Structure 1
Amino acid sequence: MSGEFLITKRILLTREGQPALRRILVFTHTGRKEAIAAAIETCGLLHAAGVRPVMRKKDHEAIQTASTGLRLQIDILGQDCTIEQVDLGVVLGGDGSVLRAAELVRDASLPLVGVNLGHVGFLAEAERSELADTVHALVIGAYTVEERMAIEVQVWRDNVCLAETWALNEAAVEKANRERMIEVVIEVDGRPISTFGCDGVVMATPTGSTAYAFSAGGPVVWPEVAALIMVPISAHALFAKPLVVSPDSIMAVEILTRSEAGAVLWCDGRRTIDLPPGARIEVTRSDKPVLLARLNTTPFSERLVNKFELPIQGWRGPADEDERRPATTALPVIGPGFQSVEPHHKDEPGIPLVARDEMK
C-alpha cells in the first residue's frame, strides 16, 4: 500500500562470494552530451563488475554514435532480454527522465534509482559526482526499495469515459487559452466543495507535492504520508485553498459549460488530452505503486533542505537524552477549584482585572 515502505535487500552472490550475473537497465537523456557520457561510464562500471548493462535500442544507438570506440557488450531490451529479466533500472537525468522511465517499468514492478543530472532532482537518489559509488552500491545490492503512491485518472463526459491514464506526480487541469480562464467545480467524495474561475487545478500525490503542486502554492507532504492533494491555480475566489484529503477519497474537477473556455489535462507533464466544457476528471489512488530504490536513509527533511537550499542557520537541535533536565515549572491545568481571570474590555483600560471563582 502506498505510504508504507517495502524494504528489501537484493544481494545476489555466487558460491565463490562474487556478484552473480545480473542485468541493470540504463536510461539516459540522449539529447544531452553529459547524459550520454554518464551512460557510457555507467555501462563500463557495470561491465567491470560482472553485471550486464541493458539499454533500449534507440538509447544504445545514440551511445554508439557518440562513442565509436565503445566495445562493451550491452543487451538490447526487447531483443536480448525482456523487462522481466532485468533486476533494476538506473535513470541518468532529471525528474523528467525518472517519470519517462516509470512509464516503461511500472507494469513490471521494476525499481528505479535516479542519478541527478538536472537541477532540483527530487526523484533522484544520487548526484553525478557520486556515480561510481552509486553503481557499486547497486552491484552489491546495498539498497532498499520504497513504494511511491501513484494515481489513476479518468476523464468522463455524459457518462462516457473519454480517457484513462495514471500519474506518479500529478494530474493537472489547465486552461487551454491564455486569455480565458476556465470555470470549475472541485469535488471530494461525491460532494462539491467550491466553484470558481481559475487557471487550473492540480491533483497530486505526496511525491508530486514538491513539483507542480508546490509551485502552485500547495503544501509539502512527506512521501510516507498517505494522502491526496488538490491545489487550485490562480483561482478567483475567497475560498480556494489547497486541500489534503484521505488517500481513499475520490477527487474530481468538473469543467462548467457556462463558458466556452477549453481546458487541457496533463499527467506528469507527459500525457495529455483536450477537455471540452462539461468534462469531468476523477482521480483516485492507484493499486499499483512506483518502486524507487534508495541508497541511503537520509530523512526527507534533510533532502528538502538540500534540494531547495533552505536557510537553517541558528538551529541547535535537540539535546541528548542524558543531558536533558526536568522542567523547572509545571503549568497548572485549569479545572475545578482553580480561579480564572476575566480580561477587561480593550475599550475600558481603567477597569481592573476581576477574578472569578469557577466553583461558584
Structure 2
Amino acid sequence: MTRRVLILAHTGREESMLAALEACVELHANNIVPVMYGDELADMTGYLGVSSVNMEILDRDVTLAEIELVMVLGGDGTILRAAEIVRDYDVPLLGVNLGHVGFLAESEREELIQTVSAVVQRRYSVEERMCLDVIVRVAGKVMAHTWALNEVALEKGNRERMIEVVTEVDGRPLTSFGCDGVVMATPTGSTAYAFSAGGPVVWPTVEALLMVPISAHALFAKPLVVAPTSTLAVEVLSRNGAHGVIWCDGRRTVELLPGARIEVTRSAKPVKLARTQQSTFSERLVRKFELPVQGWRGPSVEESSVPTTQLPIIRTPKPKSPLEGHPAGQIPQPPDLTIVTHTESYSGTTGYYGQDNA
C-alpha cells in the first residue's frame, strides 16, 4: 500500500519552503509519496526551482482520506490551520516548529531529518487533544456554531470601551464585571492566550475546561478550572451598549451585539497530534520557556520500599482541673473591686491630688 504524507508549510517564508523541500526529498528517497496543495507547490517550486521529486497534489491526485500523516512546518498558527483542514478526517498532525515558542510542535527545525526518519520507520505515537464546541445565541436562536482547539476568546469590540459580561457555569450565574474580554480554553490552549491573560498551565493529559478573565474590573474575577463535562457560558450585557467579538484559535471570528450569549462545551471531535519524542510536558515547559533548573538534584535513587515515617502526634491539651484547697461546695468570695471616690479634683498642673506644684 502506498504511503502518503501531506506537507503543509507557510510558503510566504523562505525558511519554511526550504524545510518543505527538504522533507519532500527525504520522504521520496524512502518510498513515501509527498503530497502538497497545488498553490503551495507552485510557490515552492517557483521560488526554489523545479524539483525532481515525484509529488502528488491534494484534491487532484489524492484525497485527505488517503493521507497517513500531515507534517506541518511552521509555528502554532500553521498547526492550527492544519487542524482546520483535517477536522473531519482521522489524520494526525506532526508539527516541526519554525516559529517562536511553538507549543503544539513536536520537534524543532534542526531535528527535521530525524523527524522524517521517525515517520518513515513509523516510530511515532498519536495522542488526542480535547477541543471546544462553541455556540453563539442571540434571543435564544443559534447564530453561529464553530469549534476551537486552543481557545475561544471574547474580546471587546471597541478599544475605548470595556465590555460588560456575566459568566456562568453549568447553567448558574457566577459573577458579572467589566473587562477587556474572557478566554475559555482547553488544556492544550492553557499555554497560549489563556496563559498570557494570567491563567494556569494545565497539563495536556488533564481533562478540564478553563475560563480566564482579561483585565477584569472586579474583586472576584479569577481563572477557573472546571470539569470537562461542564458548560461554560458568557453573556454580553447591554448596560453600556458595548459590543464584542469572539475569536476561535485566532482564525474564525463572530461579531457579538449586546445580549449575545456564548456557550462552550467539550467537543465530541478531538484533534490528533503525532509524537516522535517521549519527553514529558515538564521538559517541554522548561525547553520552550527556558526556565532555570540549576541546582535540581532529582528524586532519590533508593529503590527499596520505605515504610511511612511515624511522626510525633500533637494532642489537643486538656482543660486545667479546678483549683484545689477550698472545701467542697464552698466558693471563695470575690475581692472587693469598689472604686474609691476622692474629694479632691485632679489638675493637670498638679503633681498630687489637692497639692499644687510650687
TM-score (norm 2): 0.87
Tell me the residue number matched to 1:310: 291
Post-superposition offset of 1:67: 2.0
Alignment partner of 1:226 is 2:210: no
Q: Tell me, yes or no, if structure 1 residue 143 matches structure 2 residue 124.
A: yes
After TM superposition, give the deviation of residue 312 of structure 1 in Å: 1.2
Cα deviation for residue 21 of structure 1 reads: 2.9
Give the aligned CA root-mean-square deviation in angstroms.
1.6
Q: CA deviation at 1:230?
A: 0.2
Match of 1:30 in 2: 11
AA at the equivalent of 1:330: Q
Q: Does 1:332 align with 2:312?
A: yes
Aligned-partner Cα distance in 2 for 1:50–1:204:
40
> Quick one: which of 259, 263, 268 aligns to 2:244?
263
Q: Displacement, 1:316?
A: 1.1
Q: Given that residues 339 and 356 in structure 1 are in contact (C-alpha distance below 8 angstroms), is that contact kept between their aligned partners in structure 2?
A: no
Task: Give the match's secondary structure for 1:39.
Answer: helix
What's the offset of the Cα at 1:128? 0.3
- Write the mapping of 1:283-302 to structure 2, written as runs, cut at 5 A: 283-302=264-283
Matched with 2:114 is: 133
Deviations 1:208-248 (A, max 9, x none): 00000000000000000000000000000000000000001
Question: Would the alpha carbon gap of residues 312 and 357 (structure 1) be closer, same or farther in structure 2, given more than 3 Å must change?
Answer: farther
Counterpart-to-counterpart distance in 2, 1:41 and 1:333: 66
Residues 282-331 of structure 1 show CA distances to partners (whole Å, capped at 9, x for unaligned) of: 0000000000000011110110111011111121111013378767x622
State the distance in 1 between where 2:15 and 2:86 align.
Answer: 24
Who is 2:263 aligned against?
Answer: 282
Report the structure number with the largest CA radius of gyration. 2
Structure 1 residue runs of 4+, over 4 Å off? 323-327, 355-358
Pairwise CA distance, 1:197:
0.1
Unmatched tracts of structure 1, length 5 or more? 1-19, 341-354
Residue 77 (structure 1) aligned with residue 58 (structure 2) = yes
Counterpart of 1:48 in structure 2 is 29
Q: Which amino acid aligns with 2:230?
A: S
Q: How many percent of aligned residue pairs carry the same amino acid?
A: 61
Matched letter for residue 56 of structure 1: Y
Number of residue pairs the alignment of both structures matches: 321
Q: Specify whether residues 230 and 68 from structure 1 end up closer, same or farther in structure 2 by C-alpha distance, changes over 3 A only.
A: same
Please name the residue that 2:219 is paired with: 238
Change (3 A) 1:267 1:330: same
- Give the structure-1-normalised TM-score: 0.86
**Any unmatched runs of 5+ in structure 2?**
322-358
1:4 maps to what in 2? none
